[in-house]
Amino acid sequence: MTFQPFLEAIGKQVDNTTYGANPIELYEPIQYIMSLGGKRLRPLLTTLSAHLFTDDWHKTLKPAVAVEVFHNFTLMHDDIMDCAPLRRGKPTVHEKWNANTAILSGDVMLVNAYELLLDVEPACLPKVIKRFNRTAAEVCEGQQFDMNFETRTDVSQEEYIEMIRLKTSVLLGFAMELGGIIAGADDATTQALYDAGVSMGLGFQLKDDLLDVYGDPEKFGKQVGGDIIANKKTFMLIEALLLAEGETKEQLHYWLTQEQGTYDTATKVAAVTDIYTQLGIDKIAEAKANAYFAHGFEVLQNLPVAETRKKPLLDFAEFLVGRES
């Protein structure tokens, strides 16, 4: 994989990053969640985007890790809101410690992210902080929309796409834009990087929705079927509600109206998954995800950069399309 050296450099930077020592109860959860690994998708996009324009991409490592720290901060808080038991195949922070600890440790992670961003050269720091602030607010807006959807029965596909754009995609867009800014790319180019990142982020989240239903539990690292159990308004559920008719519609409605604790979760997951398969929702979702990935690829291909410089970034994008976790 041509992006492996970048990934190794990020791994070393994460390992060498400290967040604080005392009290240990505050900082140990941060080390824990950061040690769980993951794809390091966002910092990798930052370094690979910088590499498009400069060989000195190592100067992006601390800012890139800032994006990863912020991302994990949001995960720590999201897991509390979702009552999620697992993160990357391990107990979530609020399960291993408690919710109050997860909230407070997450707060410190946001501070740590700002400290890491201060490694950016002074000339571009104001722009980076301004863009980061806007992105961070949008991520929170997306999470609130997601929470609002829990009590709504009329969520449209357009609303869902906008929600995941905010909650997930804008951070991928910022990660790529950040690499371009640090490398000295012009405004039009950094905007193109942002657009490519947002588009690939939409594909990434739709693929995540698909894996939540059809993924291999050993590879996915999260509870497969969690969205079904929680009646989460995903692209797949919204599409199923639009397409289901007759007995299929009745069965779907039945499972959506059962209160948790009154049914076997494995039975519900199997039943709803079968409905999705009957309706071809898996194929529809995959096609939608691939369309967003394709747009992101097109934007990257049109960048006025040598193909040899694009290769590591395009290889990583191809990896995301075919991922199973």
Q: Is residue 259 part of a domain?
A: yes
- Is the predicted pLDDT of residue 219 greater than 70, yes or no? no
Residue 51 banded pLDDT, cuts 50, 70, 90: very high
The token pair at 91 is: 């107990």
Which residues have CB under 8 Å from 80's CB, separation 6+?
92, 94, 99, 102, 103
Domain count across the chain:
1
Q: Is residue 324 part of a domain?
A: no
Q: Is residue 323 part of a domain?
A: no
* pLDDT recorded at residue 214: 93
Q: Is residue 197 part of a domain?
A: yes
CB 160 within 8 A of CB 235: yes
Burial of residue 68 (CB within 10 Å: 0-12, 13-18, 19+) is buried
Q: Is residue 320 part of a domain?
A: no
Residue 262 DSSP symbol = S
Q: Hey, is 150 helix, strand or coil? A: coil
* pLDDT recorded at residue 292: 97
The token pair at 160 is: 């869902």
Among 125-139, 186-200, 304-318, the least confident range = 304-318
Distance CA 64, CA 184 (A): 16
Distance CA 186, CA 126 (A): 16
| Dihedrals phi, psi of 93, to nearest 5 degrees | -60, -40
* pLDDT recorded at residue 324: 66
Residue 75 CA: distances (Å) to CA of 81, 103, 106, 251, 291: 10, 11, 9, 33, 27
User: CATH no. for residue 299?
Assistant: 1.10.600.10
Nearest Cα neighbor of 75 from 208, 178, 168, 211 is: 168
Mean pLDDT on 21-33: 96
- Is the predicted pLDDT of residue 222 greater than 70, yes or no? no
User: Percent of the chain scored above 70 by pLDDT?
Assistant: 97
β-strand partners of 90 = 87
Q: Is residue 311 part of a domain?
A: no
Q: Name the H helices within 40-122.
A: 41-51, 61-82, 93-96, 99-117
Domain range for residue 41?
A: 4-303
Residue 58 DSSP symbol = G
Q: Is residue 314 part of a domain?
A: no
Q: Are strands 90-91 and 86-87 parallel, antiparallel or unpaired?
A: antiparallel
Distance CA 295, CA 292 (A): 5
* pLDDT recorded at residue 2: 85
Give the torsion sign (CA, 195, 196, 199, 202): negative
